[in-house]
Amino acid sequence: MAAEGYYIGLMSGTSMDGIDAALISTHPTGIRLLHTLSHPWPAALEQRLRAQASRASCTLQEYGEIDHLCAQQFSQAALSLLDSAGIPASRIRAIGSHGQTLYHHPSSVVPFTLQIGDPSVIAENTGITVVADFRRRDIAAGGQGAPLVPAFHQALFHSPEKNRVILNIGGIANITVLPAAGDCITGFDTGPGNCLMDGWCRKNRNQPYDASGEWAAQGNVHPPLLQSLLQDDYFRQSPPKSTGTEYFNQEWLEARLRQYPEIRDHDVQASLLALTAVTVSQAILNWAGDTDEILVCGGGAHNRQLMTELSRRLSPIPVAPTDSIAGGISPDWVEAAAFAWLAKQTLTGATGNLPEVTGARHPVILGGIYPKNQGF
């Protein structure tokens, strides 16, 4: 099947701050981002998703309902994107739907990962072929199932002149190391990105996130708390490794806060921002010390306080958003575009994982294909 054409990527990450929808075109000379849209979760459904993502169990009825309801929202995001772009569904080769992660546990005795948002419902509602369930094939091959975006980072951001690191700061932060020589590409989840800061902000300020890091900037880092947070074994593990909000969540934070009942709320926020900055910086310096530049995507790219702290800790390596270079795209849409591109990889029989990143035994074709009806 020819690779060229239009593809849609649908992504809702561990921050659960909405569905990102991206329309891309692929052609022999590259990838072009054509149109984007952010689709908010209905408040009641978002509440149910957050409740389930922090638990280790879910009733079958609740699972079935939110799986279907999520798919309806993913469908609406895709249709709204097409309507806004003025492009008919018939011109789209496929939708790459990441789904919503409820639980990611690749290193257990019985490894698994769970993303919901029934792709059959999306295919039926949109009349477009859907590629979904990307992560489980990599886990079946012995991998972590994450991160999967490094292959897209390689296709879009590799430079033969510069050693680059692509830093994605979503709920969880991850890095992709792209050597100029094109070999030894690595990548892994460094730990919390925005998830702990967002959760603390929701709890104490009834706001979804700390805009620009302004609240954190009002506080002071509490060194004993920060050191306690940094003692978690995850930060000392060697890659390949991946994690999620089923591990780094408010329960994880509260267990460590009990030692320090006197800390002010905004000092906790400052310490959580420092935790992200320290763990990301250490990961880059330990595993990509010869980096020439760092390109940042994800919601964390808009947190000015976090970006300032990263720049300070990583100096003299320049830290800039992914759209600061020629051919780059906005930090907000890199992941959605990545899953559009991964759908193209799957439809054309091309592999989508990087075993040196995920730890899989070999490259695999990711996901399952849910064809459109021939009547569409």
> Which of 70-79, 99-108, 262-271 comes out lowest in average pLDDT?
99-108
For the chain, domain boundaries: 5-148+333-370, 150-324
Q: Give pLDDT, residue 157.
A: 96
Residue 3 is predicted with a pLDDT of 58
Read off the pLDDT of residues 6-16 as tens digits, 9 standing for 90 and up: 999 999 988 88
**Residue 327, pLDDT above cutoff 50:** yes
Q: Which CATH architecture has domain 150-324?
A: 2-Layer Sandwich (3.30)
The rounded percent of the chain whose pLDDT value lies above 90 is: 91
Domain 5-148+333-370 shares a fold with domain 150-324: yes
Q: Tell me the mean pLDDT in the region 155-161.
A: 95
Q: Is the pTM of this model over 0.85?
A: yes
Say what the pLDDT of residue 1 is. 43
Q: Average of pLDDT values for 173-202?
A: 95
| Residue 4's pLDDT band (cuts 50, 70, 90) | confident
Whole-number pLDDT of residue 376: 53
Residue with token string 């080769």: 93
Once rounded to an integer, what is the mean pLDDT over residues 163-172?
97
Mean pLDDT in residue range 84-106 = 96
Average pLDDT rounded to a whole number, residues 101-122: 95
Q: What is the mean pLDDT of residues 191-220?
A: 97
Residue 336 has pLDDT above 70, yes or no: yes
Place 267 in a pLDDT band, splitting at 50, 70 and 90.
Answer: very high
* Predicted confidence (pLDDT) per residue in 348-370, tens digit: 999 999 999 999 999 999 999 99
Q: What pLDDT is recorded for position 334?
A: 97
Give yes or no for residue 374 having a pLDDT over 80: no
The 10s digit of each residue's pLDDT in 238-265 is 999 999 999 999 999 999 999 999 999 9
Q: Is the pLDDT of residue 2 over 60?
A: no
- pLDDT value of residue 153: 97
- Mean pLDDT of all residues belonging to the chain: 95
Q: Strands 164-169 and 172-178: what pairing?
A: antiparallel
Q: Closest Cα partner for 164 from 148, 184, 138, 137?
A: 184
Q: Does 51 have pLDDT greater than 60?
A: yes
In terms of pLDDT, which residue wins out, 27 or 154? 154
Q: What percentage of the chain has pLDDT greater than the value 70? A: 98
Mean pLDDT of 109-119: 96
Homologous superfamily, domain 5-148+333-370:
ATPase, nucleotide binding domain (3.30.420.40)
